[in-house]
């Protein structure tokens, strides 16, 4: 038969969603007690953690999602509805909703705790206001990036230029003394002095080469830090 009720006559209660199995029946200790011979068990699937609906045969008319059901096992997730003895039970996202269509029922407060309604949508749903667009302007400031200083180099011929003159003096002194029949001791003295000069020249060249290498390494480190600073400014 068709039941017509005014909106004011509808009684809606929201409760928590139990974490354990619960029962709907005419047994006083049931989580949902009704004056009915219906027996409905709502266990939790251990795999999906979702409710299941087990409807056992009875004389009571039981509707699952507006379909008359005699018996069976069904999923009982968000949006699903069960009606038994003019009590509608609906699964919501955060709560269970009980709507009485003129029947009396009782909830076990140890299993189903009455709560205030928890909104499932924003307050202004379905009206949305577009957030203002933010237009970013390109920066007008110009940042100058200087080129690195040129590397200091040691010419390939610098060593030859350093040691050739002293060695040339040794050769020239020896040849002059030999051709003129000069004093051999004097020749050795002049040659030794020239070789000593050449040794100092080679030592100075190696020292300058190490200093040039160190200067170039410091140059690379300093310029790398300079570029990191400019990158942060950009």
Is the pLDDT at 8 greater than 70? The verdict is no
Residues in contact with 140: Cβ distance below 8 Å, sequence separation at least 6, in sequence order? none
Residue 17 inside a domain? The answer is yes
Please tell me the predicted confidence (pLDDT) of residue 229: 72
Residue 124 inside a domain? The answer is no
Total domain count, the chain: 2
Please tell me the predicted confidence (pLDDT) of residue 111: 94
Q: Which two tokens stand for residue 122?
A: 């924003």
Angle at 45 between CA 41 and CA 46, to 5 degrees: 135
24 & 101 share domain: yes
185 & 100 share domain: no
Residue where one domain finishes, among candidates 115, 140, 171 = 115
195 & 105 share domain: no
C-alpha 212/C-alpha 203 separation (Å) is: 14
Q: Which domain holds residue 223?
A: 158-233
Residue where one domain finishes, among candidates 89, 115, 141 = 115
Kindly state the average pLDDT of the residues 129-140.
Answer: 65
Residue 82 inside a domain? The answer is yes
Q: Which two tokens stand for residue 46?
A: 């251990």
Q: What's the CATH number where 15 sits?
A: 2.60.200.20
Instruction: Please state, rounded to an integer, the average pLDDT across all residues of the chain.
Output: 78
* Selected residue with higher pLDDT from 216 and 62: 62
Residue 138 inside a domain? The answer is no
Please tell me the predicted confidence (pLDDT) of residue 10: 79
18 & 97 share domain: yes
162 & 111 share domain: no
Highest mean pLDDT among 6-15, 140-149, 171-180: 6-15
Q: What is the pLDDT of residues 26-69, one digit of tens each?
A: 999 999 999 999 999 999 998 888 999 999 999 999 999 999 99
Residue where one domain finishes, among candidates 115, 146, 177 = 115
Residue 149 inside a domain? The answer is no
18 & 84 share domain: yes
Q: Beta partners for 115?
A: 14
52 & 109 share domain: yes
Residue 15 inside a domain? The answer is yes
Is the pLDDT at 222 greater than 80? The verdict is no
Residue 121 inside a domain? The answer is no
Residue 216's pLDDT band, with cuts at 50, 70 and 90, is: confident
Residue 123 inside a domain? The answer is no
């Amino acid at each position: 038969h068709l039941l017509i009720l005014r909106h004011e006559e509808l009684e809606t209660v929201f409760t928590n969603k139990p974490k354990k199995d619960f029962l709907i029946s005419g047994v006083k200790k049931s989580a949902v007690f009704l004056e009915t011979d219906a027996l409905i068990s709502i266990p939790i699937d251990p795999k999906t953690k979702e409710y299941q609906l087990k409807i056992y045969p009875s004389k009571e008319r039981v509707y699952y999602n507006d379909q008359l059901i005699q018996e069976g096992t069904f999923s009982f997730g968000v949006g699903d509805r069960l009606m038994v003895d003019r009590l509608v039970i609906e699964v919501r996202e955060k709560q269970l909703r009980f709507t009485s269509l003129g029947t009396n029922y009782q909830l076990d407060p140890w299993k189903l705790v009455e709560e205030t309604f928890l909104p499932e949508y924003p307050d202004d749903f379905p009206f949305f206001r577009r957030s203002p667009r933010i237009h970013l302007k390109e920066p007008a400031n110009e940042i100058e990036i200087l080129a690195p200083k040129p590397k200091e180099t040691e010419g390939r011929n610098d060593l030859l230029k350093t040691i050739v003159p002293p060695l040339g003096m040794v050769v020239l002194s020896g040849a002059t003394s030999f051709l003129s029949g000069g004093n051999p001791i004097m020749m050795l003295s002049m040659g030794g002095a020239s070789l000593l000069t050449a040794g100092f020249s080679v030592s100075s060249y190696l020292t300058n080469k190490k200093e040039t290498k160190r200067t170039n390494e410091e140059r690379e480190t300093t310029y790398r830090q300079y570029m990191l600073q400019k990158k942060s400014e950009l």
